[in-house]
Amino acid sequence: MRHLFTRLAASLVTLFVVVAIAFFLMHLAPGGPFESERGIDPATLAQLKKLYGLDLPLPQQFAHYLLGLLHGDLGPSLRWRDFTVAELFSRALPVSLTLGTEALIVALAGGVALGLLAAVRRNGFAARAVDLFALSAIAVPNFVIAPLLQLVFGLGLRALPVGGWNDGAWPNHILPVATLALPQMAVIARLLAASLKDVLASPSVRTLRAFGLPQPLIYAHAVRGAFLPVLSYLGPLAANLLTGSVVVETVFGIPGIGRYFVTAALGRDYTLVLGTVIVVAALVIFFNLIVDLLYGVIDPRVRHG
Amino acid sequence: MDSFVETAPPGFAQRLFRQKGALGSLLCLALLALAGLFGPLAYPHAYDRVYRDFVLTPPSLDAHPTAAETQAALADFVQEMNVAVMQAGQSADGVLLQIISPKQFDPRVLRYFSRADIFEPARILIRSADGHAVTVHVPIHRLVFPFGTDANGRDLLARIFIALRISLAVGILATLVALSLGVAVGGVAGFVGGRTDLALMRLVEILYALPFIFFVILLTVFIGRNFVLIFVAIGVVEWLDMARIVRGETLAVKARDYVAAAEALGAGPGAIFFRHILPNMLAPIAAFLTLLVPRVILAESFVSFLGLGVQEPLTSLGLLIADGARTIQSAPYLLIFPACVLAFTLGALNILGDAFTRATEGRSQ
Amino acid sequence: MSAPLLSVRDLRIAFGAQEAVRGLNFDVAKGETIALIGESGSGKSLAALSILGLLPEGAKAQGAINFDGAELLHAAPSVLDALRGRRIAMIFQEPTAALDPLFPVGQQIVDVLHFRAELSRADAKARSLELIEQVGIDSPARRWRAYPHELSGGQNQRIAIAMAIACHPDVLIADEPTTALDGTVAARILDLLTELKTRLNMAMIFISHDLTLVGRFADRIYVMRRGEMVETGPSQQILTAPKEAYTRELIAALPPPRVDRTSSDQPVLLEAQQITVAFLLRGGLFEKKQEIKAVDDVSLTLRQGRTLGLVGESGSGKSTLGRALLKLVPASGLISFEGRNLSPLTRAEMRPLRRMMQLVFQNPYGALSPRMSVGEIVTEGLRIHAPELSAHERGQRAIEALHEVGLDAKTRFRYPAEFSGGQRQRIAIARALILKPNLLVFDEPTSALDRAIAVDLLELLLKLQAAHDLTYVFISHDLAVVRAMADEIAVMKAGKIMDYGPADDVIARPKDAFTKALVEAATLSPPSASAEYPHTRRS
């Protein structure tokens, strides 16, 4: 329990530092949110700045922002001025999270299945296929896979929509989720296969075999131990899915937060950028926390360590 | 008296080349590096040369212009210059034309040929007596576009050469930045230990909380779309893993008995670091480096793909892929070729990196 | 004489072209205990694994293994499965690694009972608690729930034994069961095995590298070397009158116990008073920091030319004390060397003094930097303390030092990886000696070496001590080895000194219960026995 508190406290500190860094970096960058708009006269510019509190000294702006955060107010968007950041997110975040969750499930399920297959039939075709698959996952990044999938399934076979969200219709999910999930599936498969191979050769499994315990039991024990490295990878996996969402949303034209982020950053929409940074960092930190707890559930050595 | 161990253990190079694929990927990389270094110099097409007449031509080893293209160009000439043309013959390097104009022949008409990509300046051979007709020899400029041309009429292979050069350069430079930062921070944390170690590792953990892309975008906004500083941005992001590895290795080596033995002999910290810790750390760090380079190249491609990295007219593999993705319906080769080159580069680097890692494992005790 | 229960004929095991076992034959009768003895690489473990079909990947076995009428080698998996755990059981060398780290130990016994003895889960649980008690573990209910990493090596081995005897097997194969355990713990495990073997009338195949250890309860001994059997016979005969030279090497006699050779009026070289080494365990954000005393209030006196033996089990603090005496580990208390108070000196001030006091480590494989040549390693001390010497002069001193430890001059151009463990220890000694120190601390220098090589090394150390009037601190867990080297012995447990005095006093008349247990575990004969009979047994 105490352990949980410590981790929670550390996570909050981390989040705070991340927000602070992002805040000051954004404001120190040259240019501002209104500079790129055509033909804006200095008087209007000054007024706009005043309206959004951009003329106040930086530390004060930061304090205001933090205060707002505590009330759940992420501030107004500086570019899409009819909306607050929270409103924009309430539409974009569910989209990104849906795709992300689906991709996570597909990657885990597929990766574990492939990894088990490769490890059980040790020197067979499956093992080599998994190796090749893993290599292609590294060599063919998601921004190459995305247009290729569009070409083959969207334009070639005309089986799936080339892009767009279409209010969440399920055919529109398929290609984006595939782009996100495939590379991660390969990584997980390889990780699990290697780990399982190690565990099956370990002294503790040898003992199980020495006592003639039934095969299913041996495998159950082995997989539980072998799963640990995969579990550790889940943290970076979440981060990778979030990263990949930027590409996927851009190529497939999906209205998620990734796409907002790039345009916001280029347009110096401070509040929107900060909002995205906070949300993303919070998600990653939260996910890592869950993974840590799960690790403790499976591995008693960590619990007591 | 016990006997010597039978044979000396195999050297590093031997162990490296015993790994599957090490030799192949090394050769592949050498080829790619040569292509990047000398390609732009040796190859006839310049990477920014625009051939207005050859926009989106598909890849082929046949020379352009084809007969059809020549006819089309001549028809175009006729139309534009308001003359009549009779093709009198064909030589090895050009065509023989008889041009008949309604009025007196104006030599400025021939400027068409100077402007066009397909033709070179014409040479007047015979003038007719009445000045209405001339026979000219127009050399044809033979061009080959092995990988085709892009939407602006630029040869793709030339662009790939320059993209390779830039991607590899960025890869190496950003890796060096990551290496320096990582070794500095990780080495200090591992060697000095104590509070410094704790503080530095806290910092690394915090920076880890933000996925790479968000950080790079933030940085590129700060630095601007400046090619020279892109690799700084990437290096600054990738140093985190390097710092962790260096710290881990320093701690591991520091715990070895031979370091304690050196201390027992009376060696000072400087001597211990340079004579014992550093040499034994090099191998695993080198192995990680070879895996870092492809990650950096991938990161750069990623950033360029989003339009935040390398800018026109310079190009990188990521930029080429982005362009290719846009014209995927009409010209899929614009995506496929750069994607293949990227895949080969990343694949070879990863195989080599894996081989390196396995060759250095279990080496220093 | 009934037919043997288990018989192995012409067993051959090969990895590709490498033959690890060549034509091994042995028999085990019902209730008999045989021992397979050999050093590493002899193939003894592989032979044992092949009985139950547990050979690692890539191993090919040929020959015949017959158990109670059934042919085991190349038998169908169902045949082997029927026997495993039920009629033939096995325990392994590293007990903590052999158990599943993710499940409570009691659960693992229950699994064996449930699947192999066909007990219901409830019955299995009750029986497992009984077994835990039978193998000598206290508070069975509490220990049942514990995970392997929470128990000690000795306790885990007892759990493994409980699993092994759960189904009353006919044969128990024990693969180096005590090698990874401390002396007193190992002795108790052996007692347990002896008791169980007699009570359950089990046959036992005991595998070890230590010939003198198994002499206690093996009926028959098979000595192996490089895959072949060298000698076999009843254990008494092998131990007292071995025929083969190799067997004799294995029970190579330690040098005789130190006789009081120098008067105890020698000048005091090192004096240590109330030395304490404490480590702070970092607590969490809300937890108090805990202090652990590795060395607790220790006082010693070392006189010139004599050897102090520091004995204890792992975790007793003996290594830490050794380093604290050399000021390599921060400690509180007074240390004075040759009359000079070392305590207030900073690290920088200590460095020039280090040439007079040196340390030799236990692990010959980690103590030499793999990237430096032997010559560079040996002369490193000279570069620090005698920088005025030219490279040629250093080379000369290196050759001298290498000759003293019995190594050729040419070895200084080679790298540590090319040398065996014994040779590397000699290099380490040369490295220490080259500075002509007064005091040498040896931290378990022979523990990682094979018996005959260890004996050679000890004789070298005695020779060097006599030649240069060196003072030694000899740290070891092995009382028998220490007895051969030490004039005085200090016994340590949990950081404190339990017994301290002249060597023969401490061994013959141990004051402390722990010392008594150590002496028993080492099965040392009384010091008056002559050195003619090679029955100086170590544990």
Last residue of a domain, one of B139, B168, B188: B139
Q: Report helix, strand or coil for C81.
A: helix
Residue B154 phi/psi, 5-degree rounding, is -100, 140
Q: What per-residue confidence (pLDDT) applies to C287?
A: 56
- H or E, element range at B350: helix B333-360
Q: Give the Cα separation of B286 and B302 in Å (integer).
A: 25
CA atoms within a 13 Å half-sphere pointing along the CA-CB vector of C189 = 31
Q: Report helix, strand or coil for C401.
A: helix
Tokens of C414: 């080679």
Share of chain A above pLDDT 90, in %: 12
Q: Give the Cα separation of C8 and B286 in Å (integer).
A: 50
Chain C neighbors of A197, CB-CB under 8 A: none
The answer on B304 and B251 residing in a single domain is yes
Share of chain B above pLDDT 70, in %: 90
Residue B265 phi/psi, 5-degree rounding, is -70, -20
The answer on B300 and B199 residing in a single domain is yes
8 Å CB contact between B59 and B155: no
CA C39 and chain centroid, separation? 13
Question: Per-residue confidence at A211, pLDDT binned at 50, 70, 90?
Answer: very high
Burial class (CB in 10 A: 0-12, 13-18, 19+), C252: middle
Question: Per-residue confidence at C538, pLDDT binned at 50, 70, 90?
Answer: very low
Give pLDDT tens digits for C399-439. Answer: 999 999 999 888 888 888 888 888 999 999 999 999 999 99
DSSP B133-160: EEEEEEEB--B--TT-B-TTS-BHHHHH
The answer on B235 and B174 residing in a single domain is yes
**A28:B301 CB<8 A:** no
A40 touches B at CB < 8 Å: no
Q: Tell me what the pLDDT averaged over chain A comes to.
A: 82
The answer on B213 and B89 residing in a single domain is no
Last residue of a domain, one of B139, B159, B174: B139
8 Å CB contact between B55 and B69: no
Q: Give the Cα separation of C279 and C72 in Å (integer).
A: 54
CA atoms within a 13 Å half-sphere pointing along the CA-CB vector of B262 = 25
Q: What per-residue confidence (pLDDT) applies to B222?
A: 64
Residue A27 pLDDT exceeds 80 = no
Give the number of other CB atoms < 10 A from CB of residue C514. Answer: 19
Q: Which residue of C has its CA nearest to A217?
A: C111
* Mean pLDDT, rounded, for B132-139: 82
Q: What per-residue confidence (pLDDT) applies to B4?
A: 44
Residue A154 phi/psi, 5-degree rounding, is -85, -50
Q: What is the CATH number of the domain that holds B212?
A: 1.10.3720.10
The answer on B135 and B155 residing in a single domain is no
DSSP B224-264: -S-HHHHHHHHHHHHHHHHHHHHHHHHHHHHTSHHHHHHHH
* Mean pLDDT, rounded, for C277-290: 67
Q: Give the Cα separation of C242 and A17 in Å (integer).
A: 74
Q: What per-residue confidence (pLDDT) applies to B192?
A: 81
Flag whether B50 is in a domain.
no
Give pLDDT tens digits for C459-472. Answer: 999 999 989 989 99
**C116:A213 CB<8 A:** yes
Question: Per-residue confidence at A40, pLDDT binned at 50, 70, 90?
Answer: low
Q: Report helix, strand or coil for C337.
A: strand
Give the 3-state secondary structure of A74-93. CCECCCCCCCEHHHHHHHHH
Subunits with 3+ Cβ pairs within 8 Å of B are A, C
A232 touches B at CB < 8 Å: no
Q: Give the Cα separation of A138 and A143 in Å (integer).
A: 12
8 Å CB contact between C26 and C222: yes
How many angstroms away from the CA of B134 is the closest CA of chain A?
Answer: 51
Give pLDDT tens digits for A258-301. Answer: 888 777 777 777 778 778 878 888 888 888 888 888 888 888 88
**C431:B8 CB<8 A:** no
Q: Give the Cα separation of B160 and B336 in Å (integer).
A: 12
Give the number of other CB atoms < 10 A from CB of residue C458. Answer: 20
Give the number of other CB atoms < 10 A from CB of residue A191. Answer: 20
Share of chain B above pLDDT 90, in %: 4
Write down the residue that tokens 């009750």 correspond to: C126
How many angstroms away from the CA of B317 is the closest CA of chain C?
Answer: 41
How many angstroms away from the CA of A196 is the closest CA of chain B?
Answer: 19
CA atoms within a 13 Å half-sphere pointing along the CA-CB vector of C389 = 17
Q: What per-residue confidence (pLDDT) applies to B57?
A: 83
Give pLDDT tens digits for B39-76. Answer: 888 888 888 888 877 888 888 887 777 777 788 888 88
Residue C530 pLDDT exceeds 50 = no
* Mean pLDDT, rounded, for C238-263: 79
Q: At what angle do helices A142-149 and A171-200 cross, to 10 degrees?
A: 130
Chain B neighbors of A144, CB-CB under 8 A: 321, 335, 339, 342-343
The answer on B237 and B126 residing in a single domain is no
Last residue of a domain, one of B113, B139, B165: B139
Q: What per-residue confidence (pLDDT) applies to C108?
A: 94
**C160:A221 CB<8 A:** no
Interface subset of C 53-72, CB within 8 angstroms of B: none
CA A112 and chain centroid, separation? 19
Chain A neighbors of B201, CB-CB under 8 A: none
8 Å CB contact between C50 and C65: yes
Q: What per-residue confidence (pLDDT) applies to C182?
A: 81
Distances (CA, A) of C434 to B264, B298, C440: 14, 54, 12
Subunits with 3+ Cβ pairs within 8 Å of A are B, C
Give the number of other CB atoms < 10 A from CB of residue B146. Answer: 14
Report the DSSP pairing between strands C340-341 and C332-337: antiparallel
Question: Per-residue confidence at B109, pLDDT binned at 50, 70, 90?
Answer: confident
* Mean pLDDT, rounded, for C18-25: 90
Q: Give the Cα separation of C228 and C37 in Å (integer).
A: 11
Residue B327 pLDDT exceeds 70 = yes
* Mean pLDDT, rounded, for A131-158: 85
Give the number of other CB atoms < 10 A from CB of residue C258. Answer: 22
CA atoms within a 13 Å half-sphere pointing along the CA-CB vector of B63 = 8
Q: Is this complex scored with an ipTM above 0.95?
A: no
Chain C neighbors of A202, CB-CB under 8 A: 97
Give pLDDT tens digits for A224-270. Answer: 989 888 888 888 788 778 777 888 888 888 888 888 877 777 777 77
Question: Per-residue confidence at C525, pLDDT binned at 50, 70, 90?
Answer: very low
C56 touches A at CB < 8 Å: yes
Q: Tell me what the pLDDT averaged over chain B comes to.
A: 80
Distances (CA, A) of A125 to A147, B229, C75, C99, C233: 29, 45, 28, 33, 51
**A5:C286 CB<8 A:** yes
Give pLDDT tens digits for B175-213. Answer: 888 888 888 888 888 888 777 887 887 787 777 777 777
Distances (CA, A) of C470 to C342, C432, C444, C458: 20, 12, 18, 14
Give pLDDT tens digits for A84-111. Answer: 778 888 888 888 888 999 999 999 999 9
Closest Cβ–Cβ partner in A6, A9, A300 for C147:
A300
Chain A, chain C: beta-carbon pairs less than 8 Å apart: 85
* Mean pLDDT, rounded, for C93-100: 91
Q: Give the Cα separation of A123 and C185 in Å (integer).
A: 43
Range scoring the smallest mean pLDDT among A187-191, B339-343, C127-131: A187-191
Flag whether B1 is in a domain.
no
Q: Which of A108, A298, A228, B363 is nearest to C371 (CA)?
A: B363
**C89:A299 CB<8 A:** no
Higher pLDDT, C72 or B17: C72
Flag whether B61 is in a domain.
no
| Of A121-125, B188-192, C290-294, C494-498, highest mean pLDDT | C494-498
Give pLDDT tens digits for C332-385. Answer: 899 999 888 988 888 888 898 998 999 999 888 888 988 889 999 999 999 999
The answer on B308 and B161 residing in a single domain is yes
Q: What per-residue confidence (pLDDT) applies to B56?
A: 84
The answer on B294 and B155 residing in a single domain is yes
**C84:A209 CB<8 A:** yes
Q: Give the Cα separation of C177 and C189 in Å (integer).
A: 8
CA angle B300, B306, B311 (to 5 degrees): 70
Q: What per-residue confidence (pLDDT) applies to A282?
A: 84
Q: Which residue segment(s) compose the domain that B72 sits in?
A: 67-139
Give the number of other CB atoms < 10 A from CB of residue A171. Answer: 10
C340-341, strands of its sheet edge to edge: C290-303, C268-281, C332-337, C340-341
**B221:A26 CB<8 A:** yes
Query: What is the C-alpha end-to-end distance of chain C, expressed in Å?
Result: 33
Chain C neighbors of B361, CB-CB under 8 A: none
Flag whether B58 is in a domain.
no
Higher pLDDT, C120 or C538: C120
Subunits with 3+ Cβ pairs within 8 Å of C are A, B
The answer on B258 and B131 residing in a single domain is no
Range scoring the smallest mean pLDDT among A138-152, B243-257, B302-316, C276-290: C276-290
Flag whether B96 is in a domain.
yes
The answer on B236 and B127 residing in a single domain is no
Instruction: Provide the sign of the torsion angle of the four alpha carbons A215, A221, A222, A224, taken in this order.
Output: positive
Flag whether B49 is in a domain.
no
Give me the number of domains chain B comprises. 2
Higher pLDDT, C44 or A3: C44
The answer on B294 and B184 residing in a single domain is yes
Q: Give the Cα separation of A270 and A35 in Å (integer).
A: 13
Flag whether B57 is in a domain.
no
Q: What per-residue confidence (pLDDT) applies to C283?
A: 55
Closest Cβ–Cβ partner in C328, C358, C423 for B260:
C328
The answer on B280 and B156 residing in a single domain is yes
Q: Tell me what the pLDDT averaged over chain C comes to.
A: 87
Residue A23 pLDDT exceeds 80 = no
**C101:A300 CB<8 A:** yes
Flag whether B51 is in a domain.
no
C70-71, strands of its sheet edge to edge: C18-28, C6-15, C59-67, C70-71
Chain B positions contacting chain A at CB under 8 Å are 205-206, 209-214, 217-219, 221-222, 224, 294, 298, 301-302, 305-306, 308, 318, 321-322, 324-325, 328-329, 332, 335, 339, 342-344, 346-347, 350-351
Distances (CA, A) of C316 to A290, C153, C319, C514: 40, 15, 8, 12
Range scoring the smallest mean pLDDT among B19-28, B305-314, C499-508: B305-314
Higher pLDDT, A166 or C1: A166
CA atoms within a 13 Å half-sphere pointing along the CA-CB vector of A101 = 6
**C372:B275 CB<8 A:** yes
Q: What per-residue confidence (pLDDT) applies to B225?
A: 64
**B343:A144 CB<8 A:** yes
Higher pLDDT, C521 or A144: A144
C147 touches A at CB < 8 Å: yes
8 Å CB contact between A240 and A185: no
